[in-house]
């Protein structure tokens, strides 16, 4: 007997760690989605900055189908062609010389942190183990990455947290300087905080942190899980700043919706990850790598990257127009197709109330903390979808204002 799942099945069968919206999307094409009832939505959420080419982009569908008939998975007992091509593509397009492949952002960050610790241990000794990161930062949900992340609510209640982790205020160079010393192993930072509220690092801050790392022989790790693969308007946000890290992590947009992650580093550091030091069964999975290669090759072109900047300008203009009418936002900020609108004091903590109202109007959006409405749409979202989505957002905002 055929069976159609319902939202109440979520409460019945799924672990209760999420609170999904009431509708269940069943089909997507480009930046539009349809739910079980056939209602259509415009997608400004992009699977949380993942669906870089929207839904079912033919380039990704073809890459997936083509590889599906060849070989899916070998584990790392063998290497495979798509993984080698993906690693080469990433090396040729970035500062990096070496790539470690995995399946998610948290896993890429876990690898980055372990690499940094092992490098410092090998090169300088056991004392050099301090990792500095930032308040409000987000680096994943493994126990090491929630501990390095700057939102204690994600690590509290799980027992003793790993030691040697220090937190500074984001964009406060003096605070970093105070924590830095000869025992500093690495600084981990998002060039633009994503979950923390879409807060770009200042130019001086990233340049200053780079200089401090050089001074103290510490590694600079950029977590570009959310900002990477075209989202900033460059292939990686470090290119926008002209500040080069020693280790960079990538996931989310990298697979365009297929689970994949990567950690990039240099020839000077990579040897610390010698045979047997680290691994992942699915790392370099052939299907995942084939899709990611297609995504990277398609996105890293002037057409797509310039298109991201054009679309950013249009988003900003339309958000400002909405704000002139309704005055709900204090500030609109972000880079490329990763934008945030901070709620004005009168709507403090109300960003999440917009999401179900937007769903009613046929729009999917996101929040980044209680005060920021976040948008992370497809990098190639058509202009018509942007305008129509913004019209729907305005209807949702009008409802929020009417309720207030
Ligand atoms: C989403 C995110 C992660 C975690 O990625 P997962 O794939 O969920 O493990 C890590 N860092 C940043 C900056 C992120 O936005």
* pLDDT tens sequence for the chain (404 residues): 689 999 999 999 999 999 999 999 999 999 999 999 999 999 999 999 999 999 999 999 999 999 999 999 999 999 999 999 999 999 999 999 999 999 999 999 999 999 999 999 999 999 999 999 999 999 999 999 999 999 999 999 999 999 999 999 999 999 999 999 999 999 999 999 999 999 999 999 999 999 999 999 999 999 999 999 999 999 999 999 999 999 999 999 999 999 999 999 999 999 999 999 999 999 999 999 999 999 999 999 999 999 999 999 999 999 999 999 999 999 999 999 999 999 999 999 999 999 999 999 999 999 999 999 999 999 999 999 999 999 999 999 999 999 87
Strand runs labelled E in 169-319: 184-189, 192-193, 199-200, 219-223, 247-250, 261-265
Distance 391 CA to ligand 1 centre (A): 30
Distance 375 CA to ligand 1 centre (A): 16
Distance 48 CA to ligand 1 centre (A): 9
Residue 184 neighbours by CB under 8 Å, 6+ apart: 128, 130, 132, 213, 216, 218
The two structure tokens encoding residue 64? 């997936």
Cα(188)–Cα(209) distance, integer angstroms: 10
Kindly compute the dihedral angle of the four CA atoms of residues 304, 308, 310, 315, in this order, to the nearest 10 degrees: 150
**Nearest Cα to 294, choosing from 265, 240, 253, 238?**
253
Ligand 1 atom nearest to 104, measured from its CA: 7
Query: Which helix (H) or strand (E) element contains residue 130?
Result: strand 130-134
CA dist list (Å): 404 to 68, 86, 328, 353, 359: 52, 50, 11, 11, 19
Which pLDDT score, from 0 to 100, does residue 403 have?
84
Q: What residues are labeled active site?
A: 138, 223, 252
Question: For residue 151, is it left (φ>0), alpha (ψ between -120 and 50) or beta?
Answer: beta
The two structure tokens encoding residue 14? 């799924």
CA dist list (Å): 72 to 56, 75, 104, 219, 255: 19, 10, 18, 35, 15
Cα(262)–Cα(224) distance, integer angstroms: 10
The two structure tokens encoding residue 7? 């939202």
Cα(89)–Cα(86) distance, integer angstroms: 5
* Beta carbon of 47 within 6 Å of any ligand 1 atom: no
Mutate to test the pocket of ligand 1, among 194, 228, 259, 263 (most ligand atoms within 8 A of CB): 194
* Beta carbon of 208 within 6 Å of any ligand 1 atom: no
Helix (H, G, I), strand (E, B) or coil at 358: helix
Q: Please, where are the H alpha helices in 32-181? A: 46-49, 58-68, 81-93, 105-123, 143-148, 173-179
């Amino acid at each position: 007997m055929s069976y159609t799942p319902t939202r109440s099945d979520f409460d019945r069968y799924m672990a209760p760690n999420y609170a999904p919206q009431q509708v269940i999307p069943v089909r997507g094409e480009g930046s539009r989605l349809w739910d079980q009832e056939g209602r259509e939505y415009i997608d400004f959420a992009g699977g949380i900055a993942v669906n870089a080419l929207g839904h079912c982009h033919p380039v990704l569908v073809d890459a997936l189908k083509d590889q599906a008939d060849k070989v899916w998975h070998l584990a790392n007992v063998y290497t495979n062609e798509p993984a080698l091509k993906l690693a080469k593509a990433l090396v040729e397009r970035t500062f990096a010389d070496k790539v470690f492949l995995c399946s998610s952002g948290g896993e890429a960050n876990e690898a980055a942190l372990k690499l940094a610790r092992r490098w410092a241990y090998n090169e300088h000794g056991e004392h050099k183990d301090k990792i500095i990161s930032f308040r409000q930062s987000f680096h994943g949900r493994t126990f090491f990455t929630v501990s390095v992340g700057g939102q204690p609510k994600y690590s509290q209640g799980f027992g003793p947290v790993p030691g040697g982790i220090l937190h500074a205020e984001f964009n406060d160079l003096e605070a970093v300087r105070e924590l830095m010393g000869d025992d500093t192993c690495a600084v981990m930072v998002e060039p633009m905080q994503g979950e923390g509220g879409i807060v770009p690092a200042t130019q001086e801050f990233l340049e200053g942190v780079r200089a401090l790392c050089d001074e103290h022989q510490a590694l600079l790790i950029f977590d570009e899980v959310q900002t990477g693969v075209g989202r900033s308007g460059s292939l990686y946000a470090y290119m926008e700043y002209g500040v080069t890290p020693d280790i960079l992590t990538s996931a989310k947009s990298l697979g365009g919706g297929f689970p994949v992650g990567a950690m990039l580093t240099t020839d000077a550091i990579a040897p610390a990850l010698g045979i047997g030091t680290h691994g992942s069964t699915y790392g370099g999975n052939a299907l995942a790598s084939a899709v990611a290669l297609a995504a990277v090759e398609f996105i890293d072109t002037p057409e797509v990257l310039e298109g991201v900047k054009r679309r950013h300008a249009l988003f900003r203009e339309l958000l400002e127009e909405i704000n002139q009418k309704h005055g709900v936002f204090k500030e609109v900020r972000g880079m490329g197709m990763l934008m945030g609108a901070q709620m004005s004091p009168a709507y403090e903590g109300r960003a999440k109330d917009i999401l179900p109202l937007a769903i009613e109007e046929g729009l999917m959006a996101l929040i980044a903390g209680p005060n920021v409405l976040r948008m992370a749409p497809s990098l190639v979202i058509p202009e018509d979808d942007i305008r129509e989505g913004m019209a729907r957002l305005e209807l949702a905002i009008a409802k929020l204002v009417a309720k207030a």
